[in-house]
Amino acid sequence: MKKGGNKKIIYLMVISFLITISNNVSAEESVSTFTKEEVKPGKLLFEGSQRLKNGGPSCISCHSVNANDVIPGGLYGIELTDAYQKYSVGLSAWLGNPNIPAMEASYQNHPLTEMEREELSKFLQYVMENKDTQSASDGYLMLSVGGLGGLVLILILISLLWMKRKRKMVKSEIFKRQIKAADAKY
């Protein structure tokens, strides 16, 4: 087998593993009053993929939700899957004036805009309405795939560096001549 053949096989194995994982993720039907596209701006704000206009921290820094397409969040705050049900129609208003000391301190100089509050409220309503079709992600799959990918990359790097190693010591020719000369004397 050629030298590059092993690398190609490893690469193909990793790719096929990732494709298998992505095919196993089921796309459950939505029971929400909103579509995924309608709640996408709120999801981006929650995750921190889109920064808040006034520079406040993203929700995922402290909170998490039970949604398939959202990475696990922080553990400092409560889990927000049922937040919409708890605050109902007043969630947007509550986000404008939270009565939790940590949130008051975090958003005191960085208040959420009306649009951000509405988008987050829609997203949390969508999460609550679809909680039965979602599975809680603990992040182990992502961590495992990342760790496996990192290990493969490190092994490939080590094998590339190992191929360029010296095959014999620098002074081996000198030693051979000395041994030959010493044998010639006796």
- 67 lies in some domain: yes
Question: In this structure, are 129 and 39 located in the same domain?
Answer: yes
> Which pLDDT value is given to residue 156?
94
- 1 lies in some domain: no
**pLDDT, tens digit (0-9, with 9 covering 90-100), for 49-63:** 889 898 888 888 888
User: Under a CB-based contact definition with an 8 Å cutoff, are residues 42 and 119 in contact?
Assistant: yes
| Total domains in the fold of the chain | 2
User: Under a CB-based contact definition with an 8 Å cutoff, are residues 45 and 120 in contact?
Assistant: yes
Q: Is the pLDDT of residue 154 over 60?
A: yes
Higher pLDDT, 30 or 113: 113
Question: In this structure, are 125 and 176 located in the same domain?
Answer: no
- 24 lies in some domain: no
pLDDT band at 138 (very low <50, low <70, confident <90, very high): low
Question: In this structure, are 39 and 66 located in the same domain?
Answer: yes
> Which pLDDT value is given to residue 89?
61
Find the CATH number of the domain harbouring 97: 1.10.760.10
- 21 lies in some domain: no
The average confidence (pLDDT) of the chain is 79
SS3 130: coil
Question: In this structure, are 111 and 148 located in the same domain?
Answer: no
Question: In this structure, are 85 and 174 located in the same domain?
Answer: no
Q: How far apart are CA 81 and CA 64, in angstroms?
A: 8
- Domain containing 91: what range? 30-133
> Which pLDDT value is given to residue 169?
79
Question: In this structure, are 101 and 64 located in the same domain?
Answer: yes
Question: In this structure, are 61 and 129 located in the same domain?
Answer: yes
Q: Is the pLDDT of residue 125 over 70?
A: yes
